[in-house]
Chain A
Amino acid sequence: MTEQFEPVIVGFLCNWCSYRAADLAGTARIHYAPNMRPIRVMCSGRVDPQFVLKALREGADGVLIAGCHPGECHYVNGNIKALRRFMLLKAMLRQMGVEEDRVQLLWASASEGIILARKVDQMTEEIRALGPLNWSEKVIGGNGHKVAVAEPVAEEV
């Protein structure tokens, strides 16, 4: 048996809808890919783009941001702000060479456990096809860490 690549997806789920959707998926015993590591945030509008970038740099292969449907945000329009950030972030990530499928946004209400589960399944397969991201080794590598700098490492200064 060859070892299959299992992507790590960091999921930022809003407290009021999508985290409950994940809860529902659990209590309803829906089978779905175990690749998402959920992080509960109060609102999808709380997801600072720094969180997404940090996840990608620190070893995630993908990031899912999930929140309430437009019009259903607990804070009226936090999810609209999340959508605006997401769309601008996507434009920037394209320039940074991060494939589009790696960072995705989903609207899932508290009753939509199945939608969340199917999205995680779908995203897992899409990222599996893309392969590991491994940003800090493959992209940054020796290009920004003092420890990895060429020869005179021993030079204690």
Chain B
Amino acid sequence: MSEKPKLAMYWGSACGGCEISVLNIHEHILAVDEIFDIAFFPCIADFKVHHVESYDDGYIDVCLWNGAIRNSENEEMAHLLRKKSKVMVAYGSCAYEGCIPALSNLTSKEATFNTVYHDNQSIDNPEGIVPLTEVEVAEGTLTLPEFYNTVKSLDQVVDVDYYLPGCPPEPPQIWAVLQVIVAGLLEGAPLPPAGSVVGVTNVAVCEECERVKSEKNIEKFYRPYQINPDPEQCLLEQGVVCMGLATNGGCGALCPQVGMGCRGCYGPLPGVEDQGAKMLSAVASVIGAGDHSMEEAELEEKIQAVVDTIADPAGTFYRFSMSHSMLRRAKVNGSNGKGEA
């Protein structure tokens, strides 16, 4: 029994969907249970931090870390689990490149707190109470982790061996990756080189999407609720912002095939550093307005009209990759704590 490899899974700033995705690998979950001993997995088994602290360094064979680094607790646990684990996997988009939590990098900690604790219509907080890192009460000092201004990906805090993208990763990919790791651990099969993005096909989502693609010439972009897209034709051609062409495959193009533009959760293709910039580049070049016969002013006006139909470009193109984007976060200029210049 004791020779079984040890598996850990822990969450940083995450929604919990990644844990569920592991449980969602159908009957293979029985094999996971058979192969591994669970060493730490707060979502499904009762472990405490002091258990992890008591392990020798490298005791855990595989740690699946999901969630971004939002606060000091996330960071502390990332360091602890890195120390105790042989293989550290950034599991899911948050750990890989920030994902939805990192969208708050477009604003500041103050603005986030204002929204959450003061300004939202449903909030009743007459005393203006916000969480503090330290509070004195009769019984002593109570502490909370520090909330950071910027959301980081896991690899911006500790070394990461593998990245498994997806929001959440798809079951066949999870199982395939676990098999590779198990073969490495039990049979000494070669593991992928450290730093690899695994569980992806390294071709664009468009390659996996069966929609019919032709010339792209877009005069107006639609938000998902504004259009009932044709079931056969490429979504981008219909004016739905679909990130498929700037996103790594592996998911089987699930979203576009049911009429929702690719959100981009599998991250950039190999060789691309900034997924959002690549998407911006692709979307802009298929804008079907303006040609070289026009006067310069008219040209700008026509293009601007189409650009204006793209709501929230930064949030759309960096929906999953803000922490790994080149600029990482917005520069906060305004009094409202927003990035907008």
Contacts and interface: CB of A to CB of B under 8 A. Distances in A.
Q: Which of A57, A70, A96, A97 has the most C-beta atoms of chain B within 10 angstroms of its own C-beta?
A: A96
Interface in B282-341: 283-285, 287, 289-294, 296, 299-300, 303-304, 307, 310, 312-315, 317, 323, 325-333, 339-341
A92 B303 CA distance: 15
A91 interface: yes
7 closest A-B pairs (Cβ-Cβ)? A97-B331, A143-B150, A97-B339, A95-B314, A53-B326, A49-B277, A85-B284
Contacts of B272: 50
Interface of B: 72, 75, 79, 82-83, 106, 148-150, 152, 155-159, 272-274, 276-278, 280-281, 283-285, 287, 289-294, 296, 299-300, 303-304, 307, 310, 312-315, 317, 323, 325-333, 339-341
A96 B327 CA distance: 8
Contact of A57 (B72, B285, B317, B326): B326
Interface of A: 48-50, 53-54, 56-57, 69-73, 76-77, 79-81, 83-85, 87-89, 91-100, 107, 135, 138-140, 143-146, 149-150, 152, 155, 157
A96 B331 contact: yes
B288 to A, nearest CB: 10
Specify the main secondary structure of chain A where it touches its partner.
Answer: helix
Contact of B274 (A53, A70, A79, A143): A53
22 contacts: A49-B277, A49-B280, A72-B292, A80-B290, A84-B303, A89-B284, A92-B276, A92-B317, A95-B330, A96-B330, A97-B333, A99-B333, A100-B341, A135-B327, A139-B331, A140-B328, A143-B149, A144-B152, A144-B156, A144-B328, A150-B72, A155-B79
B304 A87 contact: yes
B313 A70 contact: no
Given A48-B277, A97-B330, 18 more contacts: A77-B291, A81-B285, A87-B304, A88-B287, A88-B307, A88-B310, A89-B284, A98-B327, A98-B341, A135-B327, A140-B327, A140-B329, A143-B150, A144-B152, A144-B323, A145-B156, A146-B158, A157-B158
Nearest to A50: B277
A72 B326 CA distance: 33
Contacts of B312: 95
Given A94-B340, A98-B341, A143-B328, A80 B149 contact: no
Contact of A150 (B75, B159, B328, B341): B75
